[in-house]
Chain A
Amino acid sequence: MDELRIVVCLKQVPDPEAPVSAYRIDSAAKRVTPIGVPPVLSPFDENALELALRLRERHGGKVTAVSVGSNLSKAVLRKALSAGADELILVEDPAFSPDFLDGYGTVLVLAQTINKLGAPHIILTGRQAADTNAGVVGLFLAEALGIVAVTLARGATIEDGNIRVERVLPDGLEVVIATMPALLTVTQEAGELRNISIKNMRDAKNKPLKHWKAADLGMHVIPDRRLMLEELAAPARERKCLIIEGGSPDEVGKKLALRLRNDNVL
């Protein structure tokens, strides 16, 4: 096999660990505006990047990180280079704003990007993005490229020209051997992205960072949306909480037990 080529798809999202109160819902504009929430790499995409770096450590090769959008934050996406990716491609165009692109449209752009890069052996995505929570783009992309896809990967190695994937099940684990090229969607069990040192960040400045626009991909029309956002609302399901109080922990503990009994909860 020639040099292993790995592509990791990274999406920038508002920090999903921000407090609930930071998420402002603008129903009129049908938009979520997180207040004071900085963008980050979508957490499962960080897991995917980590898996890519481990594959390269073991088998050699090149890791290319790709992100599609408009108004991409270079500071956020550069993290991929600092962590160890060999190059970063920002596919950025006003036409690629999430207002225009749905999952399907994103996949058309990603597929074009990957074709322009030259067919990789392995493509990694997160199991689902922290904003859409869809879990669709990876599988769509594999279908668009006509390659095999294995979901919920927590580890992978190459054996005899095939990829051996450890796949998380609801009640355990399975090992899947798949032909390459293959796309894997990666889950948190793959492990956290490695630590990044100041030196890593400095070194990353010398790595290639490319900007591609719609025209560079030969895309002159925005793909039609298949999915329309009709409404956006804040979830309203708060309950009224009865706080059990008392003079000592023993007393509150006892009171809670009595209360749950008397209210026929337990």
Chain B
Amino acid sequence: MNSFQQSKQSRRTLLLLTIIIFIVAASDFFSGGFVRASIRDAVGIVNGGVFQMVSAVSASRPLSSRKALVEENKKLESELRTILSYKIQNEIIKAENNALRALVNLHEDSNSGKTVRIASSLKSSPFSTFIISAGSDAGIATGDYAVIEGGLVIGIVSEVGARTSLVQLLTAPSEKTDVIINGAIVEMTGRGTGNALSEIPREIGVSEGDLVFLKGGKFIAGVVGRVESTPANALKRVNINIPTNIQSKEFVIIFPGIL
């Protein structure tokens, strides 16, 4: 077979495979995401295995010397003592909090979160989304909140498969979310890379460092950054940031959506 024939054949292969891929894409679209759910489940299982392997290797530390291990042990004991003291303080604050709640007749929310592993790299996602390793089998539903430490909501579950789900970040470009800034309900628009923007009336007092709550008031959606206001404009631009590096997170807690 000469190079011209080879070229013609490879062109035919490319055309055929392009058509097949677009047929599969169309079938996925019209079946409501059957293909993507299967692919996410497969990647979730593979990534779960990879994370467990990395954790096991780093936990076993085969190259560590005895001296290094003894030093690490001492360090961990010291950290444990510190954490225990925090725990005691925490218990005291919790008791005080319960007493205050009882005073104002607030009832405790019975909904508890599910801790799930992030099954995809946030770095590699071009659309500000990530996959979690729990789906409808674990009771996850569309509209649930993905929360990290400190009650900070980072995203909302947008698609649910049997064993995996897709979470869309609140700061995804053009993603709109209702939030509360200093008691006023306003719309927050995502700008990507952990930033969002909100335009609020000038009479609402807001300053850098104020907390932004998700509508419903239970979770934090971000922290106010720079506030831009000009006398010519009735609205002021409030930049909202997520005060943590989301990419370093391995787990999120999923709470049922309340809206």
A, B assembled together: no
